[in-house]
Chain A
Amino acid sequence: KAGVTQTPRYLIKTRGQQVTLSCSPISGHRSVSWYQQTPGQGLQFLFEYFSETQRNKGNFPGRFSGRQFSNSRSEMNVSTLELGDSALYLCASSFAYGELFFGEGSRLTVL
């Protein structure tokens, strides 16, 4: 069974730009969550989608948004990038509560 696939794996943007990250969950998983991982703040929850609906949202500004498609694939978007948005963005899919399967992440560098 293929794992969670995230694209792109690495990207570099400049302040003020926007970025879209993509996540393909494990087949059959309808829940997709996004987390931001930084050395200073650790792993922080961004949002979770289930059957195309946002089910939970973390404490991030409105510049961070996401969506889920009918095939469970998900995208997250960050607009008006700031230096502090540099992080590893992790996607996780789940079939059952709490047992998350993580992708390898998309490493975003904002210059």
Chain B
Amino acid sequence: AQSVSQHNHHVILSEAASLELGCNYSYGGTVNLFWYVQYPGQHLQLLLKYFSGDPLVKGIKGFEAEFIKSKFSFNLRKPSVQWSDTAEYFCAEHNAGNMLTFGGGTRLMVKP
């Protein structure tokens, strides 16, 4: 069965610090990968997605992620975080149809 691992469960950063959240997936074939974000009290929303092509994917709000096939990784990055980035971040891998396998999530707290 496919699995997605997010090794950082809680991350605390100060504003302007750089962010990197780890994500590892298990499936070795063609992969479609996503990062979703859940802001406090809000619904899950898509940050960015990778289907194919350029392994460096840019998303909304200055986020980007790099797909490294040899490492089975899809880490999320942002050069300078803001207080408004406080949220829970989920990495997900696409399976059949619209079934996604989600990682356990990373709670990010950004201190002003």
Give the B-binding residues of A (Cβ under 8 A).
3-4, 31, 33, 35, 42-45, 48, 50, 55-56, 58, 90, 92, 94, 97-105
Asked if B90 is an interface residue, CB under 8 A from chain A, the answer is yes
A50 nearest CB across to chain B (Å): 7
- Most chain B CB within 10 A, of A31, A56, A103, is at A56
16 more A-B residue pairs beyond the given contacts A56-B95, A56-B96, A92-B98, with a C-beta to C-beta distance below 8 A: A3-B43, A31-B97, A33-B100, A42-B105, A45-B100, A48-B99, A50-B97, A55-B98, A98-B32, A98-B34, A98-B51, A99-B34, A100-B98, A101-B46, A102-B36, A102-B45
Q: How far is the CA of A43 from the CA of B101 in the complex (A)?
A: 8
Q: How far is the CA of A13 from the CA of B43 in the complex (A)?
A: 23
Q: Please tell me if the beta carbons of A42 and B97 are within 8 angstroms of each other in the complex.
A: no
**Chain A contacts for B97, CB-based, 8 A:** 31, 48, 50, 55-56, 97
Q: How far is the CA of A43 from the CA of B99 in the complex (A)?
A: 11
Q: Please tell me if the beta carbons of B99 and A104 are within 8 angstroms of each other in the complex.
A: no
Q: At the interface, is chain A mostly helix, strand, loop or mixed? A: strand
Q: How far is the CA of A32 from the CA of B88 in the complex (A)?
A: 23
**Chain B contacts for A92, CB-based, 8 A:** 44, 98
Asked if B89 is an interface residue, CB under 8 A from chain A, the answer is no
Q: Please tell me if the beta carbons of A105 and B43 are within 8 angstroms of each other in the complex.
A: yes
Q: Please tell me if the beta carbons of B100 and A103 are within 8 angstroms of each other in the complex.
A: no
A97-B32, A97-B94, A98-B49 known; A58 vs B43 contact (CB < 8 Å) = no
A90-B44, A105-B43 known; A100 vs B100 contact (CB < 8 Å) = yes
3 interchain residue pairs of minimum CB distance: A43-B102, A98-B94, A102-B44
Q: How far is the CA of A98 from the CA of B97 in the complex (A)?
A: 8
**Chain A contacts for B59, CB-based, 8 A:** none
**Chain B contacts for A104, CB-based, 8 A:** 42-43
Q: How far is the CA of A48 from the CA of B97 in the complex (A)?
A: 8
Quick one: CB contact mask for B26-38 with A, threshold 8 Å, 1 for yes? 0000001010100
